[in-house]
C-alpha cells in the first residue's frame, strides 16, 4: 500500500474546515490509526506557521512516529527549486515573492522533494494550473504541476480517503 504526504492545507481542512474536533470525534479516532499507518509526517508541515496549536497538541498525543526531517532532503529540494528557475512557465517572482518555494519554511517544495526521493503520494487541495505557458509566466507554482514534472503522484483529499478505505 502507498504511503502519503499530506500538504498543510489538508490538515487545515481536517481541523478547521470540515472535521472540527468537537463535532467529529469518530473522524479523529480513525485519523489516529491512518496517521500512524499510512502517513509520513515531515517536521516542515507540522511547524508551518498555518498550523493551529490545538492540532499540534493533538499530534503530540496521537502520533506514534517521529517527524521526518525535511532538511535531510535539501539536495532534492534544490533540484525542485532549480526546476522552477529553469522553467519558462514561471516568472522571477516565483522565486522571490513572500510565498516563494525558496522560503525554507514553505513546505510545498519540500513535499515534492521528499515524495520524489521516497516514492510517496502527495495529498493536497491545490489543483493543476492548466493555463501554464511561457507567454504569461506564473508567479505561484502549484504542487500538482511541479509534482507532475517530477513524476510524483498527487491526489486530492477524497481520493486519499477512498484509497485508504476511510468510512465513518
What pLDDT score does 33 carry? Answer: 94
What pLDDT score does 49 carry? Answer: 64
Same domain, 46 and 91: no
The total number of structural domains that make up the chain: 2
| 79 burial type by CB count under 10 A (0-12 exposed, 13-18 middle, 19+ buried) | middle
pTM of the model: 0.94
121-87-71-46 Cα dihedral, nearest 10 degrees: -50
Domain that holds residue 28: 4-68+156-164
What pLDDT score does 10 carry? Answer: 95
Same domain, 76 and 142: yes
Q: Is the pLDDT of residue 128 over 80?
A: yes
Q: What residues form DSSP beta bridges with 155?
A: 123
Same domain, 133 and 101: yes
Same domain, 132 and 75: yes
> What is the rounded CA–CA span in Å between residue 28 and residue 31?
5
Amino acid at each position: 500500500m502507498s504511503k502519503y504526504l499530506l500538504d498543510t492545507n489538508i490538515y487545515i481542512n481536517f481541523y478547521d474546515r470540515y472535521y472540527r474536533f468537537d463535532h467529529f470525534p469518530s473522524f479523529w479516532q480513525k485519523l489516529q490509526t491512518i496517521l500512524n499507518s499510512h502517513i509520513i509526517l515531515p517536521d516542515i508541515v507540522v511547524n508551518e506557521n498555518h498550523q493551529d496549536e490545538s492540532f499540534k497538541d493533538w499530534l503530540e498525543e496521537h502520533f506514534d512516529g517521529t517527524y521526518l526531517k525535511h532538511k535531510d532532503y535539501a539536495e532534492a529540494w534544490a533540484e525542485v527549486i532549480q526546476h522552477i528557475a529553469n522553467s519558462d512557465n514561471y516568472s522571477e517572482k516565483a522565486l522571490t515573492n513572500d510565498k516563494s518555494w525558496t522560503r525554507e519554511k514553505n513546505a510545498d517544495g519540500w513535499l515534492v522533494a521528499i515524495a520524489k526521493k521516497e516514492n510517496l503520494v502527495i495529498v493536497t487541495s491545490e489543483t493543476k494550473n492548466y493555463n501554464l505557458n511561457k507567454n504569461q509566466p506564473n508567479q505561484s507554482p502549484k504542487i500538482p504541476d511541479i509534482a507532475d514534472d517530477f513524476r510524483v503522484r498527487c491526489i486530492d483529499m477524497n481520493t486519499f480517503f477512498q484509497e485508504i478505505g476511510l468510512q465513518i
